[in-house]
Copies of this chain bind each other. A is one copy, B any other.
Amino acid sequence: MSVTTIDPTTLPGRPCSLASALQLVGDRWCLLIIREVMFGNHQFKQIADNTGAPTDRLSARLKDLVAAGVLDHRRGPAASRKGYYFTEAGAELSVVTQALTQWGDKWVVTEPPLTREHHGHQMLMRAVCATCGEAVASDEVQREMTVPGWSIAGKTGDPS
């Protein structure tokens, strides 16, 4: 199952994969749905109760996520009923929800409502460069636009 392609040059502003990705999963209910599927909750009722999403809204979002190729609606490994499961692409969104959860733990709540362990120790996610293994400071990343007429500063008057 492939993911819906969204040409970033058709969106307003800077052509960017972030803007394209947000077209598919930029709604807050989407990320809460992804959290629940990551937690192993695959049934509509479970997802409704655990996200608190209004059921009509939830129903629409689930349909969108299936159409986008983020979720599959199918029978699970040991389930007789159909439920919502990650596609390969959907599973990779757990990095995004974990990063934002961790930011929330640190900055937005007084007491994390959920603890995470990894092989017996506290799990704290850290972003490193896959090539060199170093922690990534955002200001050490050199970015370049490949779309003519655009630079990191913005739209240039004279596409070359």
Listed in ascending order, the chain A residues whose CB lies under 8 Å from chain B are 3-9, 11-28, 31-32, 35-36, 38-41, 46, 49-53, 69, 89, 91-119, 121-132, 134, 136, 138, 140-147, 150, 152-155
Contacts and interface: CB of A to CB of B under 8 A. Distances in A.
B22 A28 contact: yes
A114 B146 contact: yes
A147 B143 CA distance: 42
Nearest to A150: B113
Copies in the complex: 2
A13 B32 contact: yes
B104 A17 contact: yes
Given A21-B108, A107-B3, A126 B125 contact: no
B104 A20 contact: yes
A40 B152 contact: yes
